[in-house]
Structure 1
């Protein structure tokens, strides 16, 4: 083995050591700084639920899940401190005497660091999830439906965090008949199919009435009964979202955000009016109508809820992100409106040129 090979192997060992360092930096120890705050919340929650031993019959919550998640975290930490660190130290030492052995040892250290980090991260997530699900389980009692805001107050969990936990619990089958309705201005949790079906039965007639095609008028408006199916679907979705966004804008105290959401709703209505008269462009508006606008309506409702609880740094950061997202949607709708008008302008200019050419060919117009 010549000196060049030895240098190459030394550089490989250095790269392996760097990977170990990167693996360590991926471990999230931010929860340690919040331990005091969490302890205070735990005491408050225990006092609020004192004497209430009943749990919800509609939630599957195992008290042992917290212990199992904690053991997983300890296993990951044990791998990091009792396997990874010794392997890294030994590997670095072997690089001097036996480069190949050092590289292999460092590679094993990297693998152990990755495995340990994953165990710690997974355990921390499962522990937090199990603890919050137990709070939700105890706060629900035997209710079949409850507003998310009310449940958050009783369980001592922030609304955005509670929505995430409920969504995960439903997807994992821990709330077997659960339905989370966050589309409207008031988020609701339904724990049985019967409660969910009852709500759907009450709202379905009004939705059917709203979706019925309006009769054609004698004016310039085109009756929706004459529109293609795609155009009707796009217009229905966009109109509903625009109304929700407008309602949220009226409830938001911050003038700039309220104005931005108002512009989004107004631009959506203008585009809907354009699509009403030009249904052939409905496909260009479909993504905005079926995804961007409903998502914006949901985020606007979240902003209205968080606005009154913006004391913590996390809430402030979330509100800032929401403001930036609203500005992006506002800009995107302006571009979409310009593109639709540009397409029409191109068609109009083409028609004008054809008309002029035919008039000139028929001798009915003089050339410039």
Structure 2
């Protein structure tokens, strides 16, 4: 049987040969071998196709990941081409001005006329300043690119890691990072409170702030629990409702503090500081004297939620890159409302301590009465009813 690469031709030839020779003994074996060889070839083809598909999928996944990384890098880092070109230009022009002016000043100095030497020296100083500025700009760009390569698409990186990756001191790295943040080279980044880590995205910074607020809340809750421990042991224990109210109050205070940290402006910050101080004093008083809690209904249901809502709105307005007249008017209105709320909080605090003043006055009155009964002091009634006594005239 002639060799053939086609399974159909092989089977047809085997059948034709069996019919012609009337010998069918080898027909089945021949067909099985042909089908087996075909199946093996098909298996190899499928395996090769599967490997090709897998390689294509891997290449596609790598390409998608590479493009995603490029897109992420563009959202995190500013381009450096413009800054580098400016640095090169400043360096070149600075050198071009500095060197000839210095040579000219040296030549003119041989004449001995100071008036002729002064102008080229002034120009040389300007060229030196331009050269120095260009060199520093190029150095900042180089450091930024090194930091960018070290951080990549991660959401945060420590200053120590950047220092180790660039063979620099943490102090110099921190100084460079602050300059880069000020120039907007890191588009979304911010430093943490301790300035030991750079947080690269707004979402990561938001999560960090929430974690900080939660930790601060836990610490204050612990301090509050320690401060009220004597009252719980010696006076009356706080009910679960009272504890829940104090916890809500601390959550409001934490949100007020977070907004204050995020909002820029010295005057508005003073207003928020005053509100936070008064509100914290109210809750400290409530922790010491749980009976005060019954008077905090409006504070919890209206005043504090309204305050936090206004501060959230002010924070959003203040973060807008363009401060138009509508935004400015809205911010001014919120600031005026905060003044009103601050007065309301102060009046509420004063009313709480007014009850305490009444209690103190009552205690003092009782004490004076007891002392008078013991003859240790003059009776209050006697001092009020007795007037100046007229001396009696002697009988004549």
Tell which has more relative contact order, 1 or 2 (C-alpha 8 A, sep 6+): 1
| Both proteins in one fold, TM over 0.5 | no
Tell me the TM-score normalized by structure 2: 0.37
Larger Rg: 2
